[in-house]
């Protein structure tokens, strides 16, 4: 199976990130693709309080709020 990054389709949540309502949620795999960082980096940032923590949606499901991620990205870019 060819897993070339150039032939894979991006998740719809990533393609439409700018159009998602701020109240919506995205899962960890989309956050990884959006920011270009690893799972370890995400969890290290949560522990260090330099990255927003996810919301627990159910016993085995976590996701990040889109509005919170946008605020985080804007603060890193120096945009208000």
pTM of the entire predicted model: 0.81
- N- to C-terminal Cα separation, the chain: 44
Buried b (16+ CB within 10 A) or exposed e, 30-47: bbebbbeeeeeebeebee
Whether 33 and 26 have beta carbons less than 8 Å apart is answered as: no
Q: How confident is the model at residue 5, as a pLDDT?
A: 56
Q: State the DSSP H helix or E strand holding residue 57, giving kind and residue range, or none if neither.
A: strand 55-58
Which two structure tokens, joined as six digits, stand for 80? 């208000």
List pLDDT tens digits, range 7-40.
667 788 888 889 999 999 999 999 999 999 999 9
List pLDDT tens digits, range 40-71.
999 999 999 999 999 999 999 999 999 999 99
Where do the domains of the chain lie? 21-77
């Amino acid at each position: 199976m060819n897993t070339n990054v150039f032939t894979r389709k991006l998740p719809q949540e990533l393609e439409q990130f700018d159009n998602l309502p701020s109240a919506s949620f995205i899962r960890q795999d989309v956050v990884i693709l959006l920011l270009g960082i690893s799972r370890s980096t995400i969890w290290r940032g949560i522990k260090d309080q330099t990255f927003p923590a996810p919301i627990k949606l159910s016993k085995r499901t976590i996701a990040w709020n889109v509005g919170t991620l946008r605020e985080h990205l804007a603060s890193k870019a120096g945009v208000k």
